[in-house]
Structure 1
Amino acid sequence: MIDSIGEHAEQLFTGVWEQRNWRNVPGPFYAGETDSMAMGRLDAPGHIAYDDDLGGGYGSEFVYRQPVDAQETADLIHGCQLELCRGYNWDGDDHWTAEAVRDWWRDRTRVREWAVAIAADWGADAHPHWGFSADPIYLGHYHDAAQGHRDFIAYIDDGLETYLRGYLFWLEQRREPRGGEALPRL
């Protein structure tokens, strides 16, 4: 799939696990250190969101929802291509453990509270710390980013638990569950 979009995986996916954003949802894809251009949502709005770690604007990108089919995977890969520093990677299956996934899930309140606060901030029509980005021409971009945060909140509230239980099965069995097989508990 990656060769069909004009780039080799080793050129596109150079992110470092130890530098991953703590907001990344467990799964194969994650963002490490990324640029602050905040463009990934242009191609992957259902998967990529932005943090605010630089203060006064965008910080880095992260994966808030893992792809579950070929089209979603292609969308996410296209979103990764927009990131200039090549800070994404897709080797999360080599790093996540069942214990680490459960730890992330236990800490979801922290992620959710952050997402609620930033969605309110970036969803406003103006904010004093936006500096040059307070120009009205940027409002649509900020409002789209806030929508990504709201989508993340909705996913944490409904859908993420089921995905993570399936991902735990994958980590433990290295295969998809068959009909009727019980999924591990979080």
Structure 2
Amino acid sequence: MQPAYWDPMPTARRLTESTSHLRASMFKGVWEERNWRNVPGPFYAGETDSMAIGRLDAPDHICYDDDHGGGFGGVFVFRQPTDEGQVFDVLCGASLDLYEGYHWDGDDRWTVESVRDWWADRGRVREWAVAIAADWGADTHPHWGYNNDPQFLGHYHDAAQGHRDFIAHIDNGLEAYLRGYLFWLDQRREPRPGEALPRL
């Protein structure tokens, strides 16, 4: 049975100490520069340039934005890891960022109030995700200029799938995760089976 909240940080620290291409020093993202689409949790992306390859390692956790015009901009974490394999995927995805713009100190940054504020404003991010999934999931994009080249379609279609997965997560699963995360932020321990969780 999946716990209400599982702390991924001990696994993340262990992996950065034992895996050659993963290291704690790659987490240099700045909280104040974080992408507003990041879901609350320990991992987030700030100013990044992953060349839109982060999803190669973590398609269930990383999405791309369009903040730099019609093409790919930065990245954000749309689903936090909930087991050891997912932590490894997120770390591998983060390791591809040229700016080392991810960070894993969200537990020290998020508060119960700010998580509730993010959730209350989830309609904004969901509306954005619906629109970009429709755009990037299409087969023709005349406003993209050179990116309208058919060789890029598969990449854009994969990115659109990530946005659809994000929408599905907002609609089913994220609320339960965030209630467990609120417990963690307040108590600094994982909830025991049957313990009441805070409401969003």
Match of 2:27 in 1: 13
1:74-122 deviation per Cα after TM superposition (whole angstroms, max 9, x unaligned): 0000000111111000000000000000000000000100000000000
CA RMSD in angstroms comes to 0.9
Specify every segment of 5 or more residues in structure 2 that has no aligned partner in the other structure, as ranges. 1-14
In the aligned structure 2, how far is the partner of 1:147 from the partner of 1:171? Answer: 31
Partner SS, residue 76 of structure 2:
strand
Percent sequence identity over aligned pairs: 73
Please give the residue correspondences for 1:140-151 in structure 2 after superposition, counting only pairs within 5 Å. 140-151=154-165
- Runs of 4+ residues deviating >4 angstroms: none
Q: Using CA pairs below 8 Å that are at least 6 residues apart, which structure has the higher relative contact order?
A: 2
Tell me the residue number matched to 2:186.
172
Measured in 1, the distance between the counterparts of 2:50 and 2:136 equals: 15
- Mapped partners of 1:71, 1:25: distance in 2: 19
**Alpha-carbon shift at residue 36 of structure 1 (Å):** 5.5
In structure 2, what is the equivalent of residue 86 of structure 1? 100
- TM-score w.r.t. structure 1 length? 0.97
After the TM superposition, which of the residue ranges 133-142 and 16-25 deviates more from structure 2? 133-142
Q: Distance in 2 between matches of 1:164 and 1:50?
A: 22
Q: Which amino acid aligns with 2:34?
A: R
Within the alignment, does 1:183 sit opposite 2:187 as a pair?
A: no
- 1:87 maps to a residue whose letter is G
Distance (Å, rounded) in 1 between the aligned partners of 2:192 and 2:143:
51
Which of residues 132, 137, 161 is equivalent to 1:118? 132
CA shift, 1:8, in A, is 2.3
- Larger deviation: 19-28 or 77-86? 77-86
Unmatched 5+ stretches in structure 1: none
Letter in 1 for 2:58: A
Instruction: Give distance in 1, aligned partners of 2:41 and 2:180.
Output: 10
Q: Deviations over 1:48-94 (max 9, x none)?
A: 00110001201100000000111100000000011111100000000
